[in-house]
A and B are shown apart, each in its own frame.
Chain A
Amino acid sequence: MVSIKASYKKMQEMLGKQLSIEQLEDLLSYAKSEIDQYIEEEDMLVIDIKTSNRPDLWSPEGMIREIKGILEEESGIPEYEVKESGYVVKVDSQLASTRPYIACAVAKNISLTDYYIKQIMQLSEKIDYSYGRQRKRSSIGFYNLSMIKSPIEYKVIEETHEFIPLESTEKMSLERILEEHEKGKEFGHIIKGYGHYPILLSADGTTLSLPPVINSNDVGKITEETTGSLIEVTGTNFETVNVVLNILCQVLVTHGAEIYSVKIEYPPDIYTRSVITPLFDKEEIEINLDVVNKYLGTKMKPKDAAKLVAKRRFNCNSIDSNILTIEIPPYRKDILHWVDIAEELAIALDYNKIGPTKWKVLTTGGLLPETESENLVRNILVGAGGTEVLTNILTDPEILTTKVNIDKQEYVRIENPVTSTYSVMRKMIYPLLINVLSKNTHETYPQMLFEVGEIVKLIDKKVVTQSNAAFLCADADASFEDTHKRLNQLLSLLDTDYEIKQINHPSFTEGRCGLILIENKKCGIIGEIHPSILENNQIWVPVVGFEIELPLIPSLKCNVKSTD
C-alpha cells in the first residue's frame, strides 16, 4: 500500500466538479484508492492506494486519469506528441554489471506552481521507495535544462570527484558524500555494493548527480521558475526505468508541458542499439472474449468489451470475432495475462452491477480432527474451572527464560524483530501463563487459567508447530492436589493411562515436580512453581500447574506439523 497527500480543492479542480468526500471516495475506488483521512484545516486528503504494482496511480493526476475514463469524459490511451530534443546521453560500458540503464526525457513549457512541484516530488519519492525498491531498482532525477549541455555522460568516475550536493553549500567528494551527507548515509550502501561511483555529467563537465544518491545543488532541482527540465531515471532494468519515465512524462503533460525525446547511446555490452526515450513500445495483448465471459460469468459482446477497455484507458486495436487485441498504455507494466484485462473489464462493468450469484458449490464442511481434539481439552479444562486465555506465540525471551528460572535454550528466533518483546517463538505455554498471573495480582483469587495453543520448536533441526495445553492454579491454599486432580480428570476422561515420575526442573520446587509419562514417553510436566519465580514475578500466592503435549495423548488426533 502506498499513501499520498493531496489537496481536496485541487483534486476537485482537476476533475472539474465539486464533489463531497464520499463522492470522491466512491470515484477513487476505481483507482483502487481510498481516503484514509481528511484534514479540513489544511485542505489535505491522505489517500491510500492499494496497488503496489501500479505506480502510475500514485499521484492525483494518475488517479484522475483513471476516474475520467470511468466517467467517460476521456477514453483510451492518452496520446501526446513527442518531438526530438537533440539531447544525447552516452552510457559507459563499465556500468554494465551495476546500474546500466537510463531513460531520459526533456520537458519544456513547464509552468508548475509550488503545490504541483511538491506533488511531483512526492510521486518521485514514492516510486523511488516502493516501485524502485528504495532506489535499488530505479531512481528519479529532475534537472534544470538551461544548465545542461549535450551530450550528457553517464559513466563511472573516481571517488575524489567533487560537486555541491543538494542541501549543501560546499563541494564534497563522492566519498565524503557517502560518509557525511544525509542521503549518502541512506542510499550510499547501494553504490558501495557496486564497487564504483556512477555519475551524470553535462558536456561542459558540470555534475548533474550521483545516481541513485543525490543530485547537484544548482543543476539538480526544479522550482516555480523552471520552464525546461531534463528528467532522468537510472536503474537495473530497462523496462522499469522506461515505465517510470513514462509515468512522469504523463503527469507533466497533464499540466501542459511539452515532451521531447532523448537519445540514449548504449555500448554494445549493455544494449544492442541506441534507444530513444521515452520509449512507447505499443505493447499489445490478445483476449478471447468467450474465455473472459466464462471466467467472469458475464455476457459481454465484442463491441461492448472494446468500449469497456477504453473506459479503463486501454485501446482496442482490433476485433476479430471473439478475439480482441488490446493495447496497453506505456505507463503500465502490470498486465501479464488476459486475467488482468478480465479484471479491467469487471471494474468497467462495476462490481456492484455485475450481480452476485446464489450460493452453489455444494460440499460438506467440518473441523479438522485436531481442532476437535483441542476443543475437547478446552471443554474439560473449562469444566475444571479454568479461565481460558490467549497469549502470544511470538514472545519475549525474558518471559520464557529468566522469568521462569530457565537458562538460555534453543528457541526458534526472529532475525528482524521490531522489539525484543516479540522475538522468539514459545516452545512451552506455562511461562506465558505465569506472565498473565503476574499482571493480575490485584484480582481476586483463586485464579485458574489455561491455554490450549500452538507452540513452535526444533526437532532434529526441523521446525515444527504443535499444540500444547497448560493449566495453572494460583491461590493462597493452592496445593499439588489442585493440579493433580485436574490432570487426572483430563487424562481419565481422555481414556489415557499415565504415570508421574519425580524429576527436578528449575521452574518447579524440588520434590514437588514430576514428568507426565504416557506409554513411558515424556509428554508433559506437573508441579508447584518455584517460590523464587513467584517472588520474581511478584505473585504472592502459591501456583501449581501442568503442561502437556497434545500430540502425545494417543486418544487425541493432534499432530506435529513440520514446515518442510
Chain B
Amino acid sequence: MVPGMLASIVGYAFVNTCVGLEIQGQEAVAIREMDGGSETLATQLPLVIGAQKGLVEETDLKIPNMRGIMQARQKPFEVVAPQSISAKTNVEKFEKPAPKAEVKLVPADDLDQLIDLLQNEAQVL
C-alpha cells in the first residue's frame, strides 16, 4: 500500500510487484508480476518501485565488508526533524485465531478415503 500512496502524493510514476528493472537515463523498463503472469512496462523517471522478491537474486546481494561498514561512518548523516502527522488508522486490539482441530491422518494405502473425505466431508473436490 505504501509505495502507491507515496507515488501518488509526490506525483511520481509507479510500478508495483517489480521483479526486473533497467534504467537508462530517464527511461525505465520494469517487469511487473501480475496474477498469473508478468508484463513489461516502460515509463520515465522519477519513479517509485514496489520491489518484489526476485528483483535481485540472492546470489547478487552485496553484503558490505568490514572496511565498507567502517567507512560508512564518514558519510554525511542528515537528521530530519519528524513531522507531526496523525495516522488515519489505529489498531484497537489483536486476537488469536480459533484453536485448530487435530489433523485427520489417512493411511497411505487408503487414498480412496482421502478422496472421500475431500469430496464429502470437506467438500472441496
* Same complex: no
Please report B residues at the A interface, Cβ cutoff 8 Å: none
Please report A residues at the B interface, Cβ cutoff 8 Å: none
